[in-house]
Structure 1
Amino acid sequence: MPRPPTTTVDPALDAAALLRRIGFFGLFVVLPVAAQVSRRATVVLAPIAVVLLITASAIDQHQRAVGPALKRLLTAPSFLAGMLVVFWSGLSLVWTPFPGPASERLANLVAIVVMTLLAYLALPDRMRSANLYLLPLGVGAAAIVAILINLVGDAMLKDNPDGDSALERGAVLLALLAWPAVAWLRSRRRDLGSLVVIVLVAGALLLAPGVTALFALAIGALVFALTHWRLSLGVRVTALTAAGLLVAAPLLPFLARPIGIALFGPVAPGVLALKAWQKVVTLEPVRLVTGHGLETALRGKIFGILPINAPTTMLFEFWYELGIVGAFAAAFALYGAIHRAGRDATVLAPCAMAAFATAFAIGCVGVGLTTIWWLTTLALAILTFVAIERGQFRSRRPKVGLIPRLPARG
């Protein structure tokens, strides 16, 4: 009598799968929901989830080979340009007037880069669909929570002075994570589900305290439509617009201020901010080369180095703090990353371009250059798209008609 087949169960592999599921559940579900009620949810929960993913990969070794992956990164021009930005930020500690706070800010930047790199190396070579379906579930749940908070209103949250700040940060997170969630559902041909997710997110942003996230989502939607209509055109427009604005940022106040005066008058807050930007460019043109160093854009307003109404935008802060070296390196890195995303992941390209446009719009409208929660949110969006790209494989059973017939025995 033949023995029944036996399967060997490896407890270590089961433990690794459980840790990985908990890690992705934390990143894709717990973090977006918690971010709607807590300002520090992103900063606290993301490293914990990354540690779980790293532990799982150390147990089952399902990630890609570290050596070739690192070699590809270290030979990628966009990655090298990004590392030049980090190096120049560290070098600017020599001439910044605030070396203490600038050092802390640089340490946060390096920590986020290292965390993102370790999480990238720890992602499995093939992502399970069950883990990736957690993303639209979490984004949809977070959007519903945000809608309920804004409609019904939790008394404790509304009385909290940080309540609106938590909702604004949560809205920014939703605007960014909506696109990878839509990308995954569209890649699985779940068009109705992707429509439900984007409608829920748009409704949550309509009710959010600020308009930054809603404006950025609208920009992303336009880029999505353009890229979906014509892929090469959408990628090229997104890359050239983002890199071009970053390179030509010192010229923007001279071009935009006359238009602002004609539309809103000379004393409008935005027009006065552009006037302050003009003065910074004209009074210290030499500083456009080296920049003033990290932390000067924020603390310069406090100590009277900068006008109090100077812009709080990524375009201004990049040039003011890091000068032409940092701005040009960041523009090159951004241009290369956008083109690489459009070339390597054709199925995901429309949503990837929309995510780039959304993030760039948020940075231009008013999020600080290296605020830790914003950097963590960007890192989470990057890791999410990488995970979805590694989930783009299919194992199909061959049709019966395609199986060759065995020759009949004579």
Structure 2
Amino acid sequence: MVRSALPTADPSTDAAALLRRLGFALLFFAIPLAALFTRRALVVMAPLAVALIVLAAFLDGTARNPWQRALSFVTSRAGLAGLVLVLWAGLSLVWTPFLPQASERLLNIVAMGLMALAGYLALPERMRSANLYLLPLGVGLAALIAIAMLFREGGNLDPDGTGVERGIVMLVLLLWPAVTWLHSRGRNLEAVTLALAAAVSAFLTMDELPLIGLTAGAVAFALTAMSPRTGTSLIGLLMAGLLIAAPALPFLLKPVAGGILGSTSLAVASLEAWQALILKEPLRLLTGHGLETAWRGRLFGLVPPAAPFSLLFDIWYELGVVGAVSGAVLLSQAAFNAGGDRPILGPGIMASFASAFAFGACGIGTAQVWWFTALVVLVLVFVAVERGQFRTKRPKAILRRLR
């Protein structure tokens, strides 16, 4: 008796599936949870997750035409603006007073960019729903754990010397792709519940920054949901406009802040320090003072301690008009092209833009490696959500009459 030949298993395909599953588990589920407990979790786990996904794509060959896709990505308007920004940052090493530290920061930026590109090219063209549902599970569980921890400690947590606020910031960033995925699958009740849990955790923290980012994202989400074209255009132009017009802000806002908050408030002192730096060296607005000078200049007396911790101040003080304009083009073009032919993704993407920009403008450490890593994770998660939209509903069965 001749037995039919059994199909032979492909070890490389099985290994790729396992590695990809582990990578998505780290990216979607483990990172939002681990970020609550240790500051180093994001920096360690994100590259590991991307490496697993890239290795899986290499084993089963799912990454098609990577060089062509990478070239089209780099040569887009946003990609060219990003290249100009990085090249200008590299050129600023010539005049920065902190060459070793600035070189290290530039290498970190380039490494994060390459990691994002590698992850983007390695993500499968069609994402399985089982993998993507790990995202709202991870975000929801992280929100519940954060609420319990904050209730127990009265909103003032300090597990490793930095506080839980960094984990809440990561939670707010990942909330929007999680809500977008649930909304795209028709699970609106679960999406609202997830957003409420994240809002409670942000409200309970002692730092107001997570609540500011969440509020900005919620406003952007609602505006884009009501009018996609208006919301996208307004948010893109607002980010670009604030970045370009940043040197005028201390002159415009100082009288208003002084009248509302008083002349002795910290906000007024911050605006005064920024205004004094502009008046002291107005020509340095053209070139900037070089990479890494905004933060390290405070340690050596080059920058007043009262100067603002803000992306708007940092990019102008370090990179001048070229850095500000290229950054504005990058933000606006990325916002205008967000969503593509998937309108259902628009509100969540705009909410992520608004939250991230609010975090950067209101004082988060944008020069730190963990922040660049967080943005890379956010981009990759949204790309994965977009590639999970190839089927929005089950196909209908068609019955034909037999003859």
Match of 1:88 in 2: 88
Paired residue for 2:351? 354
Q: Deviations over 1:214-253 (max 9, x none)?
A: 1111111011111100110100110010000000000001
The letter for the 1-side match of 2:329 is: F
Aligned to 2:281: 284
Alignment of 1:223 onto 2:255: no
Shift of 1:15: 1.3
- Residues 169 and 61 (structure 1), Cα distance of their counterparts in 2 relative to 1, 3 Å cut: same
CA contact (8 A) 2:39 2:160 kept: no
Task: Report how far residue 166 of structure 1 moved.
Answer: 3.9
Structure 1 partner of 2:332 = 335
Using the alignment, how far apart are the partners of 1:185 and 1:272 within structure 2? Answer: 44
Q: Which amino acid aligns with 2:276?
A: K
Tell me the distance in 1 between the aligned counterparts of 2:126 and 2:65. 13
Q: Distance in 2 between matches of 1:257 and 1:169?
A: 29
The one-letter amino acid paired with 1:261 is G
- Tell me if the contact between 1:167 and 1:209 (Cα under 8 Å) persists in the aligned partners: no
Comparing 365-374 with 39-48, greater Cα deviation is found at: 365-374
Residue among 194, 198, 209 paired with 2:195: 198
Kindly provide the CA deviation profile for residues 99-129 of structure 1, in whole angstroms up to 9, marking residues without a partner as x: 1111111111111111111111111111111
CA contact (8 A) 2:93 2:290 kept: yes
Q: 1:252 is matched by which residue type in structure 2?
A: L
Distance across 2 between alignment mates of 1:8 and 1:202: 51
The one-letter code sitting in structure 1 at the alignment partner of 2:53 is L
217, 232, 236: which one aligns with 1:235? 232
| 1:105-144 → structure 2 map (5 Å cutoff) | 105-144=105-144
Q: Using the TM superposition, give the Cα deviation of residue 314 of structure 1 relative to its aligned residue in structure 2, in angstroms.
A: 0.2
Confirm or deny: 8 A CA contact 1:38 1:166 kept in the other structure: no
Q: Which amino acid aligns with 2:174?
A: L
Query: Deviation of residue 7 (structure 1)?
Result: 4.0
CA–CA separation in structure 2 for the residues paired with 1:342 and 1:129? 19
Asked if the contact 1:66/1:121 (under 8 Å) is kept, the reply is: yes
Q: Which moved more, 1:191-200 or 1:174-183?
A: 191-200
Instruction: Look up the SS of the partner of 1:127 in the other structure.
Output: coil
1:78 match: 78
Segment of structure 1 superposing worse, 14-23 or 338-347? 338-347
Q: Deviations over 1:15-46 (max 9, x none)?
A: 11111111110111111111001011110111
With the length of structure 2 as denominator, give the TM-score of the two structures. Answer: 0.96
In 2, distance between residues paired with 1:213 and 1:103? 30
Contact 2:38 2:160 in 1 (8 A): no
Separation (CA, whole Å) in 1 of partners of 2:139 and 2:218:
17
Q: In 2, Cα distance between the equivalents of 1:124 and 1:11?
A: 19
Structure 1 residues 240-259: aligned runs within 5 Å:
240-259=237-256
Alignment-mate amino acid for residue 366 of structure 2: L
2:172/2:198 contact within 8 Å kept: yes
2: CA distance, partners of 1:47 / 1:202: 28
In structure 1, what residue type is equivalent to 2:207?
Answer: G
CA distance in 2, matches of 1:87, 1:294: 12
* 2:145 equivalent to 1:169: no
Amino acid corresponding to residue 292 of structure 1 in structure 2: H
1:33 paired residue number: 33
In 2, distance between residues paired with 1:153 and 1:20? 37
With over 3 angstroms needed to count, the CA separation of the structure-2 counterparts of 1:198 and 1:5, relative to structure 1, is farther
| Distance change (3 Å), C-alpha of 1:71 and 1:224 | same
- Deviation of 1:5 after TM superposition, in Å, equals 8.4
Per-residue CA deviations over 1:77-120 (Å, capped at 9, x if unaligned) read 10110111111111100000111111111111111111111111
Q: In structure 2, the residue corresponding to 1:117 is in which secondary structure?
A: helix
Q: Secondary structure at the match of 1:341?
A: coil
| Distance of aligned partners of 1:78 and 1:396 in 2 relative to their CA distance in 1, 3 Å threshold | same
- Deviations along 1:163-202, one digit per CA (max 9) or x if unpaired, are xx24111011011000000011111111111111111111
Alignment pair present for 1:323 and 2:320: yes
* Secondary structure of 1:347's aligned partner: helix
Residue 57 of structure 1 is matched in structure 2 by 57
The amino acid across from 2:288 in the alignment is: G
The structure 1 residue matched to 2:361, chosen from 359, 364, 368, is: 364
Report the number of matched residues. Answer: 401
- Whichever residue aligns with residue 333 of structure 1, its letter is L
Amino acid in structure 1 at the alignment position of 2:225: H
Contact 2:254 2:268 in 1 (8 A): yes
Q: Aligned partners of 2:159, 2:128: CA distance in 1, in Å?
A: 40
Distance 1:375 1:258 in 2: 34
8 A Cα contact 2:147 2:201, kept in partner:
yes
Q: In 2, Cα distance between the equivalents of 1:51 and 1:74?
A: 21
| Structure 1 SS opposite 2:337 | helix
Q: CA 1:76–1:204 in 2, change beyond 3 Å: closer, same or farther?
A: same
Gaps of 5+ in 1: none
User: Which residue identity is paired with 2:148?
Assistant: L
Name the structure 1 match of 2:23. 23
Contact 1:139 1:177 in 2 (8 A): yes
Distance 1:230 1:114, change over 3 A: same
Q: Which residue of 1 aligns with 2:185?
A: 188
Q: Give 1:4 deviation, angstroms.
A: 6.8
Percent identical residues = 48
Equivalent residues of 1:179, 1:351 under 8 A apart: yes
Is the Cα–Cα contact under 8 Å of residues 250 and 271 in structure 2 kept in the other structure? yes
Structure 1 residues 142 and 160: CA distance shift in structure 2, 3 A: closer
CA distance in 2, matches of 1:196, 1:119: 30
Going from structure 1 to structure 2, the CA distance change for 1:143 and 1:243 (only over 3 Å counts) comes to same
1:158 and 1:248 map into 2 onto residues whose CA distance is: 37
Q: Displacement, 1:396? A: 3.9
Gaps of 5+ in 2: none
